[in-house]
Amino acid sequence: MATASTPVANGPTKKYAEAPEPRSPISDTTAARIKELYGIEPDVLRDLGVCEYEEWVCIPVMNGRMSYGPFWEYRLLPPYPNFARKSKHYRSEQLWLNDFENTSDVCIVVEDNWSAIKCWQAGYSSVALMGTHMSSEAALYLATTYAKSDVVLCLDKDATDKAVGYVKKYGLLFNSLRFVPIDQDLKWKTTEQIRELIGGSTV
């Protein structure tokens, strides 16, 4: 099961709306739909505490800088209704990333939670930036948390320039920081394709 490092005292800097409740354990129907879409096993979803609220799938967001427990990303599953907002975020912490820690010597950094969960299922540590922005605080967190790891940036094709820029800007903080270009989000790839693309050891 994914774990977070010991949190440090770090109060919220901005008040956000509370996540709607009550959340329910993820249903067999929703879990089967996620497996059909992304190849993520139902047991993995349950191990990570993924649940649901009405039409939303609720993904807990955790990292080692948190002091108030998880915040949440609420996501719709495709096909999306016309003009629907695909995701909503409910948070109170400063550091905006989701850390799925594993015992691999590789940490894959991606944009979205589904891709991060898919990489974690494949046996890697993974981090979702939940976007393409990597702040200096996020880079320092990654460099510290994964000080002995090979950290691999796998951002979308349209964020290639950003990823290359992050390697140049933050590379000296890391034991190893590299960029691997991808033709599609890792959530759409099989475990074998992810391992072939990334290399390194898994759990």
Q: What's the pLDDT at 58?
A: 96
Q: Check residue 199 and give left, alpha or beta (phi > 0: left; psi -120 to 50: alpha).
A: left
Which percentage of the chain shows pLDDT scores above 90? Answer: 70
Q: 43-55: per-residue pLDDT in tens?
A: 999 999 999 999 9
**In the predicted model, is pLDDT for residue 171 greater than 90?**
yes
Beta bridge partners of 87: 75
Q: 40 with 117: CB under 8 angstroms?
A: yes
Question: ω before 12 within 30° of 0 (cis)?
Answer: no
Which long-range contacts link 78-83 to residues 24+ away (Cβ below 8 Å)? 78/37
Q: At 52, list the tokens.
A: 């649901």
Confidence of residue 2 (pLDDT cuts 50, 70, 90): very low
Q: What's the pLDDT at 18?
A: 79
Tell me which residue of 137, 105, 112, 140 sits closest to 127, measured CA to CA. Answer: 112
Tell me which residue of 1, 2, 14 sits closest to 145, measured CA to CA. Answer: 2
Q: 96 with 137: CB under 8 angstroms?
A: no
Q: 70-79: per-residue pLDDT in tens?
A: 789 999 998 8
Q: What's the pLDDT at 92?
A: 60
Domains of the chain, with CATH numbers? 24-200 (3.40.1360.10)
Strand order in the sheet with 24-25: 24-25, 51-53, 56-61, 71-75, 87-90
Tell me which residue of 58, 67, 141 sits closest to 97, measured CA to CA. Answer: 141
Tell me what the mean pLDDT of segment 121-127 comes to.
96
What's at 93, amino acid-wise?
E
Q: What's the pLDDT at 95?
A: 77
**In the predicted model, is pLDDT for residue 3 greater than 50?**
no
Q: 180-199: per-residue pLDDT in tens?
A: 999 999 999 999 999 999 98
